[in-house]
Structure 1
């Protein structure tokens, strides 16, 4: 199954949850990260409830400090 992560095409197995997909990316600590799927922000506590589907678009953004 094909999905997009930050506009990069990825092929994944069907039936994967968003939480498990992020774990496969070795993103175990999501502190300071925002996750959106199909332009909707997903609260961290809801990641395991979302099943990925063909052509889903995931955006991962890490907060940074600056001045």
Structure 2
């Protein structure tokens, strides 16, 4: 199915959860990540059970260190 991640079209398997998507995108670490789907923030506790739908618009923000 097709979704949009930070305004880029991306193909993912059907029935992917937020947790599965983040594991796919960030294999090493998911620390410091915030995610919104269709402009609604998804709390981390919901990541394993929130299933993505075709045409979802996802905004991913990853915190970085610096100064």
Which consecutive unaligned segments of at least 5 residues does structure 1 have? none
Considering only aligned residues, what root-mean-square deviation do their CA atoms show, in Å? 1.6
Query: TM-score with structure 2 length normalisation?
Result: 0.84
Return 5+ residue gaps in structure 2 as ranges.
none
Contact 1:3–1:12 (CA under 8 A) maintained in structure 2 = yes
Equivalence map 1:5-44=2 (5 Å): 5-27=5-27, 29-44=29-44
Q: What is the CA deviation profile of residues 9-64 of structure 1, one whole-angstrom value per residue up to 9, with x for unaligned ones?
A: 00111111111011011255333221111100011111011111110011011234
